Chains A and B, each alone.
Chain A
Amino acid sequence: MTAGVSLLVLLFLLGSSIAVAAGMGLTGVLLNNIYSSMPMSRIVGELTWSTTSNFILTAIPFYILFGEILLRSGTAERMYAALVQWLSWLPGGLMHSNVGACALFGSVSGSSVATAATIGVVAMGEIDKHKYNEPLFLGTLAAGGTLGILIPPSINMIIYGVMTDTSVPKLYLAGFLPGFILTVLFSLVVIVACWWKPEWGGTRIPTNWELRMKLLPDLLPPLVLLVIVIGAIFFGVATATEAAAVGIVGALALAAWDRRLSWRMLRDVCENTVRTTAMVVAILVGAFFLNVIINTIGLTQQLSKLIAHYQLSPVQVLLAVVVLYLILGTFMEELSMMISTIPITTPLMVQAGYDSVWYGILLVLLIQTAMISPPFGINLFVIHGIRGRGTLSDVEKGSAPFVIALLAMIVMICVWPDIVMIAVRWFG
């Protein structure tokens, strides 16, 4: 009952286009007034201070900063150009570079919108030049952009980890293999499509080893930096936040080496980072407040009673949650969808017997699906915007096979949870 009321109040407030941060806070205040006699509002001051000065959460602005520096120093574009030479022999040519560059750049930038926009702007000119099938090409960009939140380091996983008391390094370990498999799956979609209709694959791009070697300096340094950052977390040398700090200093060094460092660039980087961070933190302030209220009014216990009462099997709970997100994803912005529902769905899944690390990965996959499925998929809008011609349905059509790949991935981790958990057991 309480769970239903909470969800309804929340959805009503958010649906009336109230800012998500305030909507969640207000839901907390209302629930507290209905169900609890304690003046919980008083804790909001202490809670906001302890949340926003939390060292683990510092990783959020750090990864945003890391991505911003790489973005504004032109590293991403040069990386793409190099990947083109290295991956163009595959059937489907450039489309694999799209997926690969998005996977690499997206993993560090932590923002799928920025990833899709950056790689999209660079790649778009190539459609006509090499006569690719347009919808499929656009699909690789929209879908590739979503890989960043699954492949570590991912900001979404930090938020999930802190909100649910789940270890962020474990989430990172868990995300790696699914991220790799999904990248391969996306490439497979392109290969199968181009094998079925060879004309979709465009004209072959001339390349040779000399050219590949010449472009290696554009590809290797960011790649090495990425390996250092992820490796440091995996082997316990540094925490996720410390690794991000190393990444920032490394990216600054790369930018300085390429002579792209300037005061103007640094100022833009700082301003943009703080603006994006503040947007995320504002939502977190509302969410943490709501989270505490939900715990004090005993929602978690009620959920477990509910499961016992209706004798719901874990599979039924899982199906209900998956369907809920597929529906929410059609109209909600993805980040706020994730943050606002975590306090309700995570206890439900944990009560039903699922591991919170595994659920975190499932959640990220569901959010990725939401990003590229119509009618509301932020990446579809971005790619359509860059293209500046044709209709949105071309992008939707091209993304459809990748939505199927994502759904296949979701089924895979449900059937074989080990895909997610094996790395956690080995290294964790």
Chain B
Amino acid sequence: MQKLQTAAEGISRVGAVVGGAMLLVASILICIDITLRYTLSITLGGADELSGYALAISSAWGFSSALLSRSHIRIDTVYVRLKSIRARALLDLISLGTMLFFFGMVTFYAWGVVRQSWVADSHSLSAIEAPLVIPQGLWFAGLVFFVALCLLLLVRGLLSFFAGDYAGLFASIGSKSALDEAEEEIAATQHGLEQEKNK
């Protein structure tokens, strides 16, 4: 099971980097589009549409990356005041369970969207007439991966819970406090500064 998670971490990392690269390319396309519009009065068209797809795909794949780094926001005012470690662990499991439920529902109905585009061979109503099934398929794949990851983490969390391994449970699905988050932000900035000094 550890192997499965390591593999999932690798995939979600690649997904995030590729998603970011798509956004970067989209922004460059938009710049080219604007430049052409104001210099030669030509519009390429489609740059805005493609960047919309880039957002949908990169965020669907990014959900997993955010889940693994425990970046999905939770309101932990009550959580941090709970004395019982068991109760906290239970809340972590419930939180992940509801995430699985809601995004499971989203993914279930998202399949309908993709299937509809496939069956009807839908193309976007624009100059580039993109076959919608391609961006929607990539988006849907990201959602499926995210739901599978939720399931994997939930199973692992439950196993840890019943084995009494609370430390392991908190490390993988615990709520990240605001202080933890602040510390990470600071560490990232200081790391950047050190790199600069080394140059």
Contacts and interface: CB of A to CB of B under 8 A. Distances in A.
A202 interface: no
Nearest to A273: B20
Given A72-B192, A382-B186, A274 B55 contact: no
Nearest to B60: A52
A275 to B, nearest CB: 5
Contacts of B186: 117, 120-121, 382, 385-386
By Cβ-Cβ distance, the 9 closest A-B pairs, closest first, are: A270-B20, A278-B62, A45-B109, A25-B102, A245-B30, A281-B59, A245-B27, A53-B52, A53-B56
Contacts of A44: 105-106, 109
A314 to B, nearest CB: 30
Contacts of B96: 19
Interface residues of B, number: 76
Contacts, number: 255
A65 B74 CA distance: 24
Interface in A256-286: 266-267, 269-279, 281-283, 285-286
A126 to B, nearest CB: 14
B44 interface: no
A346 B112 CA distance: 32
Interface string B62-76: 110110010111111
B75 A45 contact: no
Nearest to B49: A55
Given A275-B71, A278-B61, 13 more contacts: A20-B75, A25-B102, A45-B106, A48-B110, A53-B53, A58-B48, A61-B59, A71-B189, A245-B30, A270-B16, A270-B17, A270-B21, A274-B20
A41 B107 CA distance: 12
B31 A249 contact: yes
A411 to B, nearest CB: 28
Interface string A37-79: 0000111111011001111011011100100000110100100
A230 to B, nearest CB: 16
B56 A49 contact: yes
Contact of B75 (A60, A61, A336, A386): A336
Contacts of B20: 65, 269-274
Given A17-B74, A41-B109, A61-B58, A113 B24 contact: no
B69 A48 contact: no
Nearest to A330: B77
Given A45-B109, A52-B60, A279-B72, A385 B179 contact: yes
B54 interface: yes
Contacts of B103: 22, 25
A333 B19 CA distance: 27
Contacts of B192: 71-72, 74
Interface in A307-363: 331-333, 335-336
A14 B113 contact: no
Interface in B133-152: 135-136, 139
Pick the most buried of A20, A53, A121, A331: most chain B CB atoms within 10 A of its CB. Answer: A53
A91 interface: no
Contacts of A60: 55
Contact of B73 (A249, A274, A279, A285): A279
User: Interface extent on A, as a size class?
Assistant: 35 or more
B42 to A, nearest CB: 16
Pick the most buried of B17, B30, B56: most chain A CB atoms within 10 A of its CB. Answer: B30
B55 A15 contact: no
B23 interface: yes
A367 interface: no
The main secondary structure of chain A at its interface with chain B is helix
Contacts of A277: 23, 55, 58-59, 62
B110 A45 contact: yes
A283 B99 CA distance: 11
Interface string B171-185: 000010011011101
The main secondary structure of chain B at its interface with chain A is helix
Pick the most buried of B16, B79, B181: most chain A CB atoms within 10 A of its CB. Answer: B16
B53 A248 contact: no
A338 B111 CA distance: 31
A297 B65 CA distance: 35
Interface in A366-414: 376, 378, 381-382, 384-386
Given A245-B27, A278-B65, A20 B73 contact: yes
Contact of A18 (B21, B71, B95, B189): B95
Interface stretch (A133-141, A171-179, A205-213, A236-244): A236-244
A19 B71 contact: no
19 contacts: A14-B75, A16-B91, A18-B74, A19-B74, A20-B72, A22-B103, A44-B105, A45-B110, A55-B49, A65-B23, A118-B189, A248-B24, A248-B27, A267-B17, A270-B20, A274-B19, A274-B20, A274-B23, A378-B182
A33 to B, nearest CB: 13
A281 B62 contact: yes
A113 B193 CA distance: 17
A114 interface: yes
Contacts of A61: 23, 55, 58-59
B55 A58 contact: yes
A87 interface: no
A331 B81 CA distance: 12
B75 A249 contact: no
A21 B92 CA distance: 14
B98 A22 contact: yes
